[in-house]
Amino acid sequence: MTKRITVKTLRSMKQNSEKIVLLTAYDASFARVIDEQGVDVILVGDSLGMVMQGHDSTVPVRVDDIIYHSKSVVPQCKRAMVMADLPFMSYTNPNQAIKNAARLMQEGLAHIVKLEGGEAQLETVRHMTRHGVPVCAHLGLTPQTVHKLGGYRVQGREEDSAKQMRTDALALQDAGADAVVLECVPVDLAEKITHELEIPTIGIGAGRVCDGQVLVLQDMIGISSLAPKFTANFLVDGRNIPEAIKAYTQAVRDESFPADEQCFF
């Protein structure tokens, strides 16, 4: 019987310097293929609002949307852990957060939930983890607040914001978070955070030093209408989709992805 990846597995992988591979999926067919190709964690992300629903941000995504897609993905996964996003305005206080996290896990069958934000989310993360909910935090560029940030911009370039991000990462770990996604963060800052934390860091536009990498599936196979700088098209050189997923998995593990051109310095 294939052994399921857990949060304990991810921490052990960090300790053993084994790269963690994540990829998004939103339906049964892709979930099955991704799981078969050895991806460690499948993210049912609120990115579905852009790549599946055609919106220009993740803001319109609802909890019911994540549940629908998550419960399509999970039954296909024999090995991969499935992470589900708490969407915009679904965790404005600890009680709301734990109620919606419970729905993602009970109805959507997810194994871990992800939320965006630093200091403001500490009480929420602490509340959920005390009640047995595995949590992945998300720092740097937080797409749900893109309108407040003024666009999709690299975060942590300034000394004050970099210091705050490091403080937030440690505080989230202390609150019980099991992993932290770092999005659009300069390489040197991501490296410092990765070395300071005992829990894994998952990079997306944050350099190869992170303990793992995540990409949106549609970016990874080159069918997004506007692919960000930090992605790469692995559906090249005559590969089919399973081969592209396998190539991405191998590139993360041998640290050939991300290359310098997919990083921010």
* Residues marked as catalytic: 183
Per DSSP, 203 falls in state: E
Half-sphere exposure of 221 (CA within 13 A, CB side): 18
Query: In this structure, what DSSP letter does residue 145 have?
Result: G
Tokens of 41: 């964690």
140 vs 149: CA distance, rounded Å: 11
Cβ neighbors of 110 (< 8 A, separation 6 or more) are 44, 70, 74, 82, 83, 84, 104
Q: Which of 194, 178, 191 lies closest to 114, judged by CA?
A: 178
Task: Find the radius of gyration of the CA atoms of the chain.
Answer: 17
The amino acid that residue 44 corresponds to is V
Asked if 153 and 202 touch (Cβ cutoff 8 Å), the reply is no
